[in-house]
Amino acid sequence: MQLYNTLSAREREKLIEEAGQDRLTISFYKYAHIGNPQILRNHLFLAWNEMDVLGRIYVAYEGVNAQLSVPAENFETFKTHLDSITFLENVRLNIAIEQDNKSFLKLKVKVRKKIVADGLNDNTFDVTNKGVHVGAEQFNELIEDPDTVLVDMRNHYESEIGHFKNAVTPDVDTFRDSLDIIEADLAEHKEDKKLVMYCTGGIRCEKASAYYKHKGFKNVYQLEGGIIEYTRQVKANNLENKFLGKNFVFDHRRGERISDDIISNCHQCGKPCDTHVNCANEACHLLFIQCEECATAMDNCCSTECQEIHALPYEEQKKLRKGKEVSNKIFKKGRSPVLKYKN
C-alpha cells in the first residue's frame, strides 16, 4: 500500500508534459473536529493518488487545508469523493484564476498540529464566533465607508505585489505577527470602526475574525472566499475590481494577475516588476522579486556570492551545502541585505 509520493518533481513534470492533459488548480479548507488525522490523511492520499491529484494538503484535529491540482477529466470524480466525506460535502472550492498544469509536482498530505500556523491558543476564545462574511459587492461598499479600516491579513511578501486599494498591509513575515500589531494599532477604534479583513482564500480570516471579536472589536467583517472568490464574483457580476496587482499563491505559479497594475519593483534594480523567483543557488533559495534583465545578468541568483556558487559544478555545490540547512530566511522574502530595492 503506497502512502507516500515516489516520483521526483522532474519525473512528475515529464509525465505531465507527456500526458498533455489540462489540470485544474484548486484550494479549499474546512474547520471540523477530526478524531484521527492520520487515518484521514492516509485515506485522502490513497484516494487522491489514484486520481493523479498533486498538491499540498494539511490535516489536523481542527480540519483540512488543501491547495492542489487535479486533471480536468478527473474533477467530477474528485468532487464526488469530497462529497462522500461528511464534513467536506459541498465545501467551497476556490478555482485558480490563472491555470498552470505544473502548479504542483508532488502529492504531499501531511498531519499538522494546525491547518494554519496561527500561534493561538484556541481554548482561550470561541473560534466559532466569527465575523460577518461578505461577498464582493458588499465588500466593495464597505471599503468605501470612511468608518471602515481594511486590513490585509497576509504576509508582507504577499501584499507587496498586490492588495486592495487603501488596505493596511502589516510589514510581517507570519500571520501570527500581524494579529498583535493590528490590535495595537486599532486599540482606540474597537467600537467606532468597522474592521474588514481579507486574505487569499479566506482561511486566515476565519480564525482572525473570531480572535478580534474576542479582543473586543464590535464590528468585524471578512471577505468570503478571499481574493480568489472576490475575483470570480467581480467577473461574473461585472463589478468594479478594487484589487491592485497580483494575488500571491503558494505554488509554482507564485502569483496570478488580478489587474494590470504593477505595484512593486525588482529587488535588484528597482524597475517596476512583480515576478517572484527563488534564488537558483539551492543553498540559498531566497524568494524575491526579479525582473528578466536582472535574472539574465545574475543567472537567476539573488547576489554575486550565490551567482559564483551556482556556477560551480553540481557536485562541488553539494559539498558546500553538506550538513547545512536552508534556514527559514527563505521566508524573509525580500528582506535580505543583498537586495538593494526592498519594498
For the annotated catalytic residues, the residue numbers are: 199
Residue 84 one-letter amino acid: S
**Phi and psi at residue 259, to the nearest 5°:** -140, 170
Q: Degrees (nearest 5) of the Cα angle 141, 144, 145?
A: 90
Q: Which three cell numbers stand for residue 299?
A: 543567472
On the 0-12 / 13-18 / 19+ scale of CB atoms within 10 A, 20 is exposed
Q: Which of 79, 71, 73, 75 is nearest to 54 (CA)?
A: 71
- CA gap 157, 287 in Å, rounded: 9
String of DSSP letters for 170-228 = ---SSHHHHHHHHHHHTGGGTTTSEEEEE-SSSHHHHHHHHHHHHTT-SEEEEETTHHH
| Contact by Cβ (8 Å): 288, 336 | yes
Residue 305's contacts (CB-CB under 8 Å, 6 or more residues apart) are 338
The number of beta carbons lying within 10 Å of the beta carbon of residue 265 is 18
Cβ atoms within 10 Å, residue 291 = 20
Dihedral sign of CA atoms 314, 316, 317, 322 in order = positive
Q: CA–CA separation, 21 vs 40, rounded Å?
A: 29
**Residue 114 cell numbers, joined:** 494546525
What is the distance, to the nearest Å, from the Cα of residue 279 to the centroid of all Cα atoms in its chain?
19
Q: Compute the distance between CA of residue 19 and CA of residue 3 in angstroms, rounded to an integer.
A: 23
